[in-house]
Structure 1
Amino acid sequence: MNSSCALIVFAKAPIPGYAKTRLARVIGNEAAARLAGRMLVETVNNAVAADVGPVELCCAPDESHPAFLGAAATHGLALTPQGTGDLGVRMHRALERTLRAYPRALLIGTDAPGLGPQQLRDAARLLRSHQAVFGPAADGGYVLVGLSAPHPGLFEEIEWSTPRVMAQTRERAAQLGLALGELPTLADVDEPADLIHVPKEWLE
């Protein structure tokens, strides 16, 4: 395994009423939690299969959920807490910590079924020639961020969970003078209409 690019998986514990709450309004809390658990497993499997570097599972609300402990035991992953703050604060903190130990870091969520091993390898490769790499999401956010050095400005004053996230992030990157690389746009699964992007067997 190449150890030059660490991969952080940001995940919420698949707890009914906590994970995938927007989906739960249509499919129910239990089904939403089951789907969140399946997406966590698939994301971790893809992250490990990509083989770009060590994989870490960065957990909310903490590292104690059996799904996290099981993933760590199966794959030998490190578990870390996301901690407090909005999404930008938490992502920056995780990336900054990881970049103290590795020259490059990728951070992904568990919401994009199309983000497979090849896309992760492509992102790691792009990060060798760009200071920042993003995987835009079809809803205007992003499913992946990669950095070769901490840039807190990329995560400040962003309107999280809105269609403006990626556009605002591009503006921040331009203001910071960063060479930005982007993957092809992928769908993520946040709203009920997004369920069309989920393999049917994941919903069983």
Structure 2
Amino acid sequence: MTTLLVIAKEPVPGRVKTRLTTRYTPTEAAVLAEAALADTLQAVRDTPAARRVLVLDGTPGAWLPPGVEVVPQARGGLDERLAAAFAGCSGPALLIGMDTPQVTPALLAQGLELATGEASFGPAEDGGFWALGLAEPDPALLYGVPMSVPETGAVQRQRLVDAGLTVCDLPLLRDVDTPEDARLVAAAAPGSRFASAMARLARAGAR
């Protein structure tokens, strides 16, 4: 059974996208986070898969589309929460975050298809990763990987290689972390909810 996983936080002001608050208010940052999450979930909805699961820290809102299961995030560090997300899967699974609203169903389908081999890996511009696919989800492949540091992606990919897995790489994408990231991602996905939210904030006078 193929599974698409999205790990995310509820878009609550002050709890999400805090690095955007060098330019935006916490409420504006949450608006952008909600738009990014909605874009991501729409892409997931439009991608063929047996299961679509949102692994959520918080409570679902109006942004949740039909057809997506919601399960709570596990406690612990990000490596433990990602490992727990995979532990709930049977068969090939592809996990992404809520930080790449430019992602497309075609990219997700490619990641899931490659994951049915042994593993797929989507590197991020900041040194992390935006996607991780496993043919046989094994939480041990994530435990202890240092998260949110420049070497996260390299360490995670090497962990897969060291486990003897054939790793197929996906295209490099930019996560939305900083205001400059937000500007570049909006420009790369002009028809997205995220780009529309950025434009509304600009019209409203956001700096």
Same fold (TM over 0.5): yes
The alignment partner of 2:89 has SS state of: helix
Mapped pair 1:124 → 2:112:
yes
SS of 2:173's equivalent? coil
Matched, 1:5 2:2: yes
Matched AA of 1:142: F
- 1:105-120 equivalence runs, <5 A: 105-120=93-108
Please give the secondary structure, in 2, of the residue aligned with 1:98. Answer: coil
Q: Is the 8 A contact 2:53 2:68 kept in 1?
A: yes
Select which of 62, 67, 89 maps to 1:76. Answer: 67
**1:144 offset after TM fit, Å?**
0.8
Ranges in structure 2 where 5+ consecutive residues have no aligned partner: 201-207
Unaligned stretches of 5+ residues in structure 1:
none
Deviations 1:114-138 (A, max 9, x none): 3110000111111222x12111111
1:44-71 Cα offsets, whole Å, 9 max, x none, are 10001012332111100x3x2424xx51
CA RMSD after TM alignment = 1.5
* CA distance in 1 between partners of 2:124 and 2:4 (Å): 19
1:151-190 alignment runs, 5 A limit: 151-190=138-177
Stretch moving more, 177-186 or 156-165: 156-165
CA distance in structure 1 between the partners assigned to 2:52 and 2:143 by the alignment: 26
Contact 2:86–2:139 (Cα < 8 Å) also in 1:
no
Quick one: distance in 2 between partners of 1:49 and 1:148?
Answer: 21
Q: How far 1:192 sits from its partner (Å)? A: 2.1
Deviations 1:112-167 (A, max 9, x none): 123110000111111222x1211111111011111122333432332211110111
How far the C-alpha of 1:83 sits from its partner, in A, is: 2.0
Amino acid at match of 1:66: G
Aligned to 2:205: none
SS in 1 for 2:88: helix
Percent of residue pairs identical: 34
Q: Check conservation: 2:83, 2:143, Cα contact below 8 A.
A: no
Trace 1:30-45 onto structure 2 (pairs within 5 A): 30-45=27-42
Aligned to 1:97: 88
Residue type at the aligned position of 2:3: A
Would you identify which runs of 4 or more consecutive aligned residues in structure 1 move more than 6 Å? none
Instruction: State TM-score, norm by structure 1.
Output: 0.87
What is the count of residue pairs matched by the alignment? 191
Please identify which structure carries the higher helix content: 1
Residues 54 and 69 of structure 2 are in contact (CA less than 8 Å); yes or no, is this contact kept in structure 1? yes
One-letter code aligned to 1:177: G
Quote the residue 2:204 is aligned against.
none
